[in-house]
Chains A and B, each alone.
Chain A
Amino acid sequence: MVRHEMTDRTNGGHVSEVLIERYALGQQVSPEAEWAVEAHLEGCALCRAKLAEVVRSDAPAVSAVVDSVWSRVDSLVDSSVDAEVARRPKALGHNRFAAWLSTWAPPAMVPWVGMSVLVTAIALLCDLTGAFGFDRPSMLLLLSPVLPLFGVAAAWTRGLDPAWELVAPTPRSGLYLVLRRTLSVLVVVLPALVVAGLIAGTSPALGLVPCLAFTAGTLALGGFVGVTRASIALGGLWCLFVVGPALVRTRLPAAFEPWAMPIWGAVAVLAAAALVMRASAFTKLTSQR
């Protein structure tokens, strides 16, 4: 009979009401059925609710015991809970927005992102005042690929993050955190770049794709040699072999011709793929850079 009740399909895998009632009233239930009922009740709110119903209506002795236990627990817990609730307003009083922002870019990154913006502003100033002569290519455009690298370097570098020792062994550290922090850099730097481009009158879109390609490339390379070294290497090479010659030759490098944009896009995609392949480098135990 018990077996039949336990396999009662009409209940959709739940304990049958007959069995719940027998269990609640302390009537005879075979040990294996009792065990199964208890295991099920632990994970099933629906059946617990049914049990509570039966207990309330048919088993005053059981509900008296439960109530007395609750009242005893209450007297123990209430005082501490009250104290905690009283403190809550203060706990919620501090700046939620700032705390949320910190989960994107911790305070240590802020100066580095600021540096990116500052360099953007200086490049814009050079273009507007013609510091290098008006016949030379736009400084803003030339520097646009490497502008976010200051912030990107700060996103995952032991020396630039004071709390690194605390952050590194947490479950959230790794590629996810790196990407989250990098995104917070781009959210600031890309609009700055667009605005500066509009002011300077250059086509801002020409700078954006190389900018993304360089960011992805730095992170991908960073998976092998560390993000800071990758930023310095890529930024240095760019300045040495592209920015320098362009200023000397007074013409815009081919890298900024519209036909080069798909190539930049492809580089960005490849770098992103390499980054995902190398994701474990940011979580693994070796990620000390």
Chain B
Amino acid sequence: MTGKEDDMARTVSASEVAPTTYAWEIKAEGLVVKAGRRRAVNGLDLSMGVGVHGLLGPNGAGKTTFIRALATIARPSDGALELFGEDVRRARDLRQVRRRIGYLPQQFGYYRRFTVREFVEYLAWLKEMPKQDVPGAVQRAIERVGLADRADDKMKTLSGGMVRRAGIAQAIVNDPAVLLLDEPTAGLDPAQRMQFRELLHELRADTCVVVSTHLVEDVAAACTDVALIDEGQLVFQGTVADLAAAGTGSDVGDSDTERGYSALLANHRRPV
């Protein structure tokens, strides 16, 4: 029995299993975030806990701006945004919050001569992961997105979908408590989409995952609940079943969820 401790990858410390002191991983109240001069997020009220949350909305609804605010890149100009119970506008040191975030931007650049492994390792370093954990965590993240056979190939040799998956790998490498994925399925083929959904299923037990997408079927398959935003405001938040129930036969769409989506959106846009 004595030798076993050495073999274990890591021990779980008491602080990791300690109960949290906040109700929601993400809590936005009256949030306003500007993209340029436009108020892309305009008075958004939204709370999200552990689970997979689909962030739906038409193009220009403010999804990306909201996610960038959650990633602590875009600064809210009004309202409150709390991550792990800490107000990011007032936080003196964002490092504690940032360590627990994983972020896949809608578009991201990379250093072309890095291999996939070097790319994920570099991000792991930036995320201040303990040095001894990095090689194992990087390998695991690369395997989870199905890139193990390309791990030592240069980034510039990858296809668009593979770059996307490398992006997902760097987002999950630090086992984030809040995982922000902006259009993660763009450029993935159907088989890779299924693999991605499996990943979401694994993550949803202990992670607050926000998946922004404009593809309604992604949400229906993988998300525990859905937030629909339009013109920077929350239109609807509920389960996928609630979304499907909101539609009627007369609404536009090929499935119940799509019909619910267009019904809610039309309802919101209807002049009062």
Write the nearest CB–CB distance from A268 to chain B, whole angstroms: 27
In the bound complex, residues from chain B placing their C-beta under 8 Å from that of A1 are: none
Size of A's binding interface in residues, CB under 8 A: 46
Residues of B within 8 A of A43 (CB): 14
- Known A-B contacts A43-B14, A91-B139, A162-B109; the reply to A171 vs B121 at CB < 8 A is no
In chain A between 113 and 171, which residues have their CB closer than 8 angstroms to a CB of chain B? 161-171
Q: Are B109 and A63 in contact (CB under 8 A)?
A: no
Q: Are A94 and B117 closer than 8 Å at their CB atoms?
A: yes
Per a CB cutoff under 8 Å, which of B76, B108, B128 touches A165?
Answer: B108
- Any B CB within 8 A of the CB of A250: no
- Is A283 a contact partner of B94 (Cβ separation < 8 A)? yes
A166, B109: Cα distance in complex, Å: 8
* B123 interface residue per 8 A CB criterion: yes
Residue of A nearest to B117 (CB): A94
Secondary structure at the A interface, as helix, strand, loop or mixed, is helix
**Residues 250-289 of A contacting B (Cβ, < 8 Å):** 280, 283-286, 288
Interface pick from B95-103, B232-240, B257-265? B95-103
When the two chains form their complex, are residues B108 and A170 in contact, meaning their CB atoms are under 8 A apart? no
B2 touches A52 (CB 8 A): yes
Q: In the complex the two chains form, is B122's CB within 8 Å of A102's CB? A: yes
Which of A98, A166, A284 has a CB less than 8 Å from the CB of B123?
A166
What residues on B are CB-neighbors of A162 within 8 Å? 109-111
Task: Spot the interface stretch: A103-111, A188-196, A230-238.
Answer: A103-111
- Shortest B185–chain A CB gap in Å is 19
Bound Cα distance A161, B108 (Å): 11
Q: When the two chains form their complex, are residues B109 and A165 in contact, meaning their CB atoms are under 8 A apart?
A: yes
A66 CB–B CB distance under 8 Å: yes
20 A-B contact pairs sorted by A residue (CB < 8 Å): A52-B1, A56-B1, A90-B152, A91-B139, A98-B118, A99-B118, A103-B125, A108-B111, A165-B109, A166-B103, A166-B105, A168-B73, A169-B72, A169-B103, A171-B99, A172-B126, A174-B95, A280-B92, A283-B95, A285-B94
Binding site for A on B (CB under 8 A): 1-2, 4, 7, 14, 71-76, 88-89, 92-96, 98-99, 101, 103, 105, 107-115, 117-118, 121-123, 125-128, 135-136, 138-139, 152, 167, 170
- A contacts, CB < 8 Å to B: 39, 42-43, 52, 56, 63, 66-67, 70, 81, 84, 87-88, 90-94, 98-99, 102-103, 106-108, 161-174, 177, 280, 283-286, 288
